[in-house]
Structure 1
């Protein structure tokens, strides 16, 4: 579990194709340097979020650590596009003493998104993202949270639909703390939506399916309830 508050930006110093168990076979092993700030209390097997992806530390020294990236992870995230010199957001897993300044982040990437545009607004930057899987848009709400490459960001605007998108604004301070600020239109980012929305959706669907049966019946029941409440409000 993570908070979505990036602790430090590291640099990929080495990539190796792997066929061993460290990467799940056929994956990639990453060595990330410039991470001394988060390695003082590190242990083998610890979880570190790398661009929003929960990975396991397989070795480390005072300034760098190594993780294995399985083939499935390479397919579902942007980690496969990393090269030597790429900068990545890093965060250690939460501890009992961690202050929750962001939101609950699992480090399980739901989809990737493409930077559609970057628009300056004073000293801030507004980023528009278009997801690879439009289905995740139902979990993205204005003023809600979304995790971009491991950074917890607030949604400022959202447009649903097949060609839907959402926007976030990076203030000057945040621009210095996350790799997102350096992204350009066409670049790809990892996305994890707020898991609370998933649990709410499943709970509500389960309730209505148990009493009404099926997706159409769920919608019909909700519409009927809204109509009834409106008629009561009008005194009819």
Structure 2
């Protein structure tokens, strides 16, 4: 679990598409450097959010200046990590511990989809961004003044257009130097994780509705039956 408060910005120094080393597993791996502040207590198997994606540390150097992570095929399909190249900057955050204050919101590091920046406009010392979702169904979980994680950064939604599957956020002056979003332009993509709360509520509603529908004696079925009988009676009268 993460908070969406980025600890540091790292640099991709290697992007391997078929890493045959013992820590590579014959898959896609990244080596990320310029991140010593978050590696002081690093251990193999630790989770580090990289542009909002929860990745597992498979290797790090003795001086703790870089670390390696593997990327699963499903992760490549859901995120924009495949677009990273040598020199790319990435947002980094360690998984929370029991004594960490939750200053952002609960972020899993499980990216739902990507979005494309459609607008970038200055608003005094802040920047307004508008994004269009690749997978439009996720707009159902994005609400005005709700939480959203963009490349792992916890931000507040300022506007939602359900028909266009677009939403907006405002990046304040302080955050502009702390996260990679300020360097991105119209046409660039970002990783999106919607607030888990909406998905949990939807799931519970679906389960309960299905339970009522399958039970002929449920209050919902009784109500539907009464309504149908009432309408039929009105037509006969």
TM-score bucket of the superposed structures, by smaller chain: 0.7 to 0.9
TM-aligned CA deviation for residue 24 of structure 1? 5.9
Q: Which has the larger radius of gyration?
A: 2
SS at structure 1 position matched to 2:156: strand
Change (3 A) 1:23 1:136: farther
RMSD over aligned Cα, in angstroms? 1.8
**Structure 1 residue 138 corresponds to structure 2 residue 114:** no
Name 1:102's counterpart in structure 2: 104
Unaligned runs of 5+ in 2: 215-219, 224-237
Change (3 A) 1:156 1:81: same
TM-aligned CA deviation for residue 130 of structure 1? 0.3
TM-aligned CA deviation for residue 156 of structure 1? 0.3
- State the distance in 2 between where 1:7 and 1:121 align: 25
Question: Could you state the TM-score of these two structures normalised by the residue count of structure 2?
Answer: 0.86
Name 2:50's counterpart in structure 1: 50
Name 2:4's counterpart in structure 1: 4
Unaligned runs of 5+ in 1: 222-236
Name 1:31's counterpart in structure 2: 31
Name 2:165's counterpart in structure 1: 164
Name 1:126's counterpart in structure 2: 128
Paired residue total? 214
Change (3 A) 1:158 1:70: same
Matches within 5 A, 1:1-236: 1-18=1-18, 20=20, 22=23, 25=26, 27-61=27-61, 62-161=64-163, 163-212=164-213
TM-aligned CA deviation for residue 168 of structure 1? 0.3
Residue by residue, what CA displacement relative to the aligned partner does 1:3-54 show, whole Å, maximum 9, x if unpaired? Answer: 11100000001111225585564x3211101110100000011000000001
